[in-house]
Amino acid sequence: MDYLPIFLNVKKQLCLVVGGGEIAKRKAGVLLDAGAHVRVVAPEIDPALAKMPHVESIVARFEAHHLDGVTLIIAATNDRDVNILVSRIARERNIPVNVVDDPELCSFIMPAILDRSPLMVAFSSGGASPVLTRMMRGKLETIIPQNYSRLAAFAERFREQVKLRVSSPAKRRIFWENALDGVVAEKVLTGDERSAEAMLQQMLASEDNIVRGEVYLVGAGPGDPDLLTFRALRLMQKADVVVYDNLVSKPIVEMTRRDAERIFVGKKRADHTLRQEEINELLVRLAKQGKRVLRLKGGDPFIFGRGGEEIETLAAEGIPFQVVPGITAASGVASYAGIPLTHRDYAQSCMFVTGHLKDGTMNLDWDALARPKQTVVVYMGLHGLDTLCSELVKHGMPESTPIAIVQQGTTQNQRVVTGTLATLPGIAAIEKLQAPTLIIIGGVVKLREKLQWFHPQPS
């Protein structure tokens, strides 16, 4: 950060503008908008500027004594020597100075602003690219409606009352976020402030309404952040606490709100950092503190994600929750690897199974899996790969059936290893694959040779 962004109170403070032309007039206008009194010094002063209320004009060349009693200075002359002189004296006297379009002479720079007073957004590229800054402002201009001014003024009107009623700063923040991000805000924005006020008072009336914690059980997809849903993203930026595990990729965790607390609950094979019951309890505890808790899970929460168990506990405790589906590994990974899960010629159905070993064995319906014309997708199957292939062959699947293992599908580290039921265990053993890996079995795997060039690349 090259500059410290601050908002300065200049109400009734004397500010100096050196220069009397068009730019000086504009700068004086901004100062006057902020409530300042403005002294303008120049040999010639635009009459419109001289006539503005709260403007004291001095028709003269700049001299050091013009700085007396001044809080802030803007130099907007086209004479660099004058600008240098103003800058030097201002710095000697420790008065903040801005010289228009001359960053070297400035002790502060003026941002581009988006004014929805009392809401104010300031932009700066630190002088690197004023055009980029203006473009950014243009974009925000379209997404922050004019009547946000009204919303900010509404919030200001109730600020003291809410502060008295809700003394904890954390709870107060949640209260305001709920009010300004929900129906209350909608009412204000459409101009119905009476209803908005009634709703706000209702929220304040009971402790339960002030802060209601909730849990968002959100599927984060298989890894590529581009595969998040809009809803996932919106809730990720709203939550106060994020509870996540290994399967959620780092770039995705980093897209959660910057100041949110992030809790890692682990879960690698046989190395459960927190047991499932402990995770369930953690979610309940956090929600009861009034927090908006994001339980972020890889893929889809309801596919081998134990999401069902987590919400069962929440439901039993009466904690509000919502579930946001995600792209499950099977569909994300298959498309990035160029393998269609069904195909008229090769597979009319597709099965998702878990290859998780329990006491060293895989408890699966082998006869059903070995049937022809279907695709079998195995989650958590790498460690049982030998058993998987040999059991399928034993139950009648041809040894030549194509099979693929996809490592870290949809991410930069995606790797696809293919073979047949007979050869793949041997190939996988020397490939040193890294978790997570997904196994896809069936005729569709062959299509990869034709289709892999057309599938989306990890971004």
Residues known to be catalytic: 245, 267
Which residue from 410, 405, 415 is spatially nearest to 438, judged by alpha carbons?
A: 405
User: How many other C-beta atoms lie within 10 A of the C-beta of residue 21?
Assistant: 15
Q: Using the rule CB under 6 A, is 225 a contact of ligand SAH?
A: no
436 lines the binding site for ligand SAH (CB under 6 A):
yes
Which residue's beta carbon is nearest to the bound ligand SAH? 299
- Candidate list 325, 338, 402, 409; residue touching ligand SAH; CB under 6 A: 409
Q: At what angle do helices 148-165 and 169-180 cross, to 10 degrees?
A: 150
DSSP state letters, 139-169: HHHHHS-TTHHHHHHHHHHHHHHHHHH---H
The verdict on 376 binding ligand SAH (CB under 6 A) reads no
User: Does residue 216 interact with ligand SAH by CB under 6 A?
Assistant: no
Candidates 43-51, 156-164, 327-335, 341-349; binding stretch for ligand SAH (CB under 6 A):
327-335
Between 66 and 295, CB nearer to ligand SAH: 295
Give residues 239-258 in contact with ligand SAH (rule: CB under 6 A).
247
Query: How many CB atoms are closer than 10 A to CB 358?
Result: 9
Count of helix runs (H) and strand runs (E) in the chain: 18, 17
Q: Which residue, 247 or 364, has its beta carbon nearer to ligand SAH?
A: 247
Residue type, 171: K
Closest CA to 99 of 170, 23, 162, 158: 23
Minimum distance of ligand SAH from residue 430's CB (angstroms): 19
For ligand SAH, the binding residue among 77, 133, 328, 374 (CB under 6 A) is 328
Nearer of residues 248 and 282 to ligand SAH, judged by Cβ: 248
- Please say which residue, 240 or 310, places its beta carbon nearer to ligand SAH: 310
**48 alpha carbon, distance to own chain's centre:** 46
Of 111 and 381, the one with the shorter C-beta distance to ligand SAH is 381
In angstroms, the CA 141 to CA 137 distance is 6
Backbone angles phi, psi at 221, to 5 degrees: 75, 180
Determine the residue type at 117. S
Query: Within positions 38 to 97, which residues make up the interface with ligand SAH, using CB under 6 A?
Result: none
Binds ligand SAH (CB under 6 A): choice among 303, 369, 397, 440 = 303
Q: CA quadruple 204, 205, 210, 215: dihedral positive or negative?
A: negative
Q: How far is the CB of 429 from ligand SAH (least distance, A)?
A: 18
What single-letter amino acid sits at 264?
Answer: F
- Interface residues with ligand SAH (CB under 6 A)? 222-223, 247, 297-300, 303-305, 328-329, 333, 379-380, 406, 408-410, 436-438
